[in-house]
Chain A
């Protein structure tokens, strides 16, 4: 078991080594504004039996959780996904293994029943670095997971810091759980948002090797355009009491475009709500190397309460009227008719290329994504809520030649959209900045009002029977009149 704790300050901020106090149990320092990332690495044998048994049967398992509370990210920890619980999964040779029960227990999920029922399949023919299955569900908090992790990692007799540190997971903005058969290790990475905090770190357990870094981005003149530089202090608890300065650089897949966006539904939403994206600038990231081609994309994970219609998103005229270019990926086989309550798969993923206006001025502009609500179960008020997470917006820039991002200690992959692009793509993220601080929009969905539904069956039945009876009476009238006519005819003949 290993642990790495990193504080990342903004470019230009730094801390004097003398301000830090390091001993075998931890590190103490002043309060600074920073992002904190904790990464725990487990060998398979160090895991509890239930988890080990599951992981031995799978090929790849990647959980990506993102908080619905808007947060500020700092380079190089910039990768973004829509808020909620994401799972990217490749089964092992035994396809009957079901990760859902354990994940449900660990995270408090409510819609994961089995890969065949709940997951969607991903294209594996595009790029080899993609998993085969995807699952998503909205999940506002890590409360359940913090509880689960404490019961697993803090056995009786652990230092109190173990319990309190895992308890603070509820304040995290991101959490990753990564396992693949090649590394045979499970990595648990949690990230806390950019905020004032004291530089303090304590051991989870005395047996763990713990490395601590206090870093910030730097831009030395020798830096290549596709690289970012990092400088700061590093120390390993128990090995030294004075942090040592460090300076290194690496190509980073996730960068900051320095633009921002908001997403909201255009009123009235009806049964076909339109999600409008307001984007602060139509220009590609200024820092991107000039030989790269950049296209603005939006990656959406839409719960099964609503869906995009790929046929509607096929017409160039329609798309350009919404400032969209094309659908680059959409989960195949989305049912366009079924109500939510009979749909078992989680929903759909959508990768759209947006069409920024050509003006060179950095004016705010909008793009619209037409969506369609499924029928939701009846309620006592006549309405239900559908929560729709913010998309991830980024400029995807592809260099003709270049690097494949080796040696990035902060690399974050398996984020859904990276599997849909080539390996040399750089993602320049737009910062989501919702007015209310929530990365989730809520749609009010009209449904059948159960309070008024008592008489529906009876009255419908009565009306149908009455209508039927009326038609039958008219038919009888024809029969009777026909009989009379026949009688009259006979009389005439006689």
Chain B
């Protein structure tokens, strides 16, 4: 059986075996099988994690989860979550996880309460997947949308990260909800989500320019007559600016800024300077000397160890924010947001993570949630060999870095130079190339 060709549609993944294709089709026909299996998938991971934690000195649970739950315990005792060292998040996270601090005396119930956060993160995964499907369904039928949402919903990496208790899943659902709200023209909701996400993890601020740029009159009020069509002359700059300032844009800016500042002022009033220090200022003062995927890492270790007096020499890392912010908040949104908002957001996130001064594997989740929205039109799926080559390159460069990192961290070999450094530069190169392809696909 061959699929009808010439439709111009890229083939969805996971349909290579013709014998299984009918089964696959029934799987995606209705939502229940997919979401049920995604839920069971996570439940199995969760239960396995509980078993490993109870029986092995090597823990399944992420160290961050212990930080969150310790902070929640402090909150439950009427103290500040910042009593827990290395708690660098909004207090809202500790509040959300308050049930994890609940102790009943019954061992099984206590374990269940303690796992509340993981369940919450796993449910966030599912909701993010459901929103993904809804966004995808705007340009394709529901079964096909579900097929692409599977990349997120049945992704073992995603399921592992959230069931180990990492909060990135919450970010995934926030970003997807933000995108969905914007595409639905629900400006108030979008503003609330944008303000809250930036309060939660800062980086989603990069989406603000793309969303604002995308929200032009044509999209926000398509039935009204277009004022620019009255004259063929290019309008003056002042007129252009006036045209740019539309009610929906003002509404989004106002609501998101209000949400963001209200939350911050409230948190500051409750928890004082530690809130500002740990949640925001820490990112300004941190040294970022520990090895990670970022291309700047070796240079940062080097310069952090030099006395301040020798800072006369030029330091590249002080300008690191420039390429990162130019790409992710100016160039990419300006050029691509109006062509495809989801792909623009993916490219912005990819640029932000790639050019960041710190880069660890949990940051990859930030763009992974947006990936299924881009793949249907991507040259990686249209040309499978090309896609596979890109994936292999990405994995190999990361593997090379991990191998060098293992030698350093566990064998004690000084691989900072040149091994680890070259591997991080190579990984950076691969990421830039992939980013270039994503952008090129929007022509």
What interface size band does chain B fall in? 35 or more
Partner of A457, one of B299, B411, B431: B299
Give complex CA distance A463, B409 in Å: 26
A472-B331 CB under 8 A given contacts A271-B412, A272-B409, A463-B425: yes
Given contact pairs A448-B298, A456-B298, A460-B425, A477 touches B417 in the complex (Cβ within 8 A): no
Q: Are A268 and B331 interface neighbours, CB within 8 A?
A: no
Within 8 A of A (CB), among B193-252: none
Please, which residues of chain B bring their CB within 8 A of the CB of A336? 85-86
Q: Check A452–B411 contact: CB distance below 8 A.
A: no
Binds A, one of B3-11, B153-161, B169-177, B301-309: B301-309
Does B292 count as interface, using CB distance less than 8 angstroms? no
B401-443 with Cβ < 8 A to chain A: 408-418, 421, 425, 428-429, 431-433, 435-437, 439-440, 442-443
Within the assembled complex, what's the spacing in Å between the Cα atoms of A449 and B301?
A: 11
Expressed in whole angstroms, the Cα–Cα distance for A321 and B57 within the complex equals 7
A317 and B57 contacting across the interface, CB-CB below 8 Å: yes
**How many residues of A are in contact with the other chain, CB < 8 A?**
54
Partner of B302, one of A271, A448, A482: A448
Beta-carbon nearest neighbor of A444 in chain B: B412
Q: Is the CB of B305 within 8 A of A378?
A: yes
Task: Tell yes or no: B315 within 8 A of A by CB.
Answer: yes
Contact flags (1/0) for B72-98 with A, using CB distance below 8 Å?
A: 000000000000011000000000000
Contact between chains at A270 and B304 (CB < 8 Å): no
- The reply to whether B301 and A375 form a contact with Cβ atoms under 8 Å apart is yes
Chain A, range 441-465, C-beta contacts under 8 Å to B: 444-449, 452-453, 456-457, 459-461, 463-465
* A464 contact from B57, B290, B316, B413, Cβ within 8 A: B316
- Would A446 and B416 count as touching, CB distance under 8 A? yes
Measured between C-beta atoms, what is the minimum distance from B414 to chain A in Å?
Answer: 3
A342 to B306, CA, bound (A): 10
Residues in B whose Cβ lies below 8 Å from that of A461: 316
Name A471's contact: one of B410, B436, B443 (CB within 8 Å): B436
Contact status A479-B335, CB under 8 Å: yes
User: Which residues in window 45-76 of B have CB below 8 A to A?
Assistant: 54-57, 59, 63, 66, 70
CB distance B299 to A456 under 8 Å?
yes
Tell me, rounded to whole Å, the shortest Cβ–Cβ distance linking A191 to chain B. Answer: 37
Checking B314, B323, B416, B440 against A474 with a beta-carbon cut-off of 8 angstroms, the contacting residue is B440
From B55, B295, B332, A463 is in contact (CB under 8 Å) with: B295
Q: Is the interface of B mostly helix, strand, loop or mixed?
A: helix
In the complex, per-residue mask of A240-263: 1 if CB is within 8 Å of any chain B CB, else 0: 000000000000000000000000
Nearest chain A CB to B158's CB is how many angstroms away? 26
Closest to B316 in A: A461
Known contacts A311-B66, A449-B417; is-contact A471 B435 (Cβ 8 Å)? yes
B426 CB, nearest partner CB in chain A, Å: 9
Q: Which listed residue (B290, B327, B355, B416) contacts A382, Cβ 8 A?
A: B416
Contact (Cβ within 8 A) B432 A467: yes
Cβ–Cβ < 8 Å partners of A383 in chain B = 414
Distance (whole angstroms) from the CB of A114 to the closest CB of chain B: 19
Check if B86 sits within 8 Å of A478, measured CB to CB.
no
Task: Please tell me if the beta carbons of B299 and A468 are within 8 angstroms of each other in the complex.
Answer: no
10 contacts between A and B (CB under 8 A): A268-B411, A378-B305, A446-B408, A448-B305, A453-B302, A461-B316, A464-B428, A471-B327, A471-B439, A478-B339
Interface of B toward A, CB cutoff 8 Å:
54-57, 59, 63, 66, 70, 85-86, 287, 289-290, 295-296, 298-299, 301-302, 304-305, 314-316, 320, 323, 326-327, 331-332, 335-336, 339, 351, 354-355, 408-418, 421, 425, 428-429, 431-433, 435-437, 439-440, 442-443
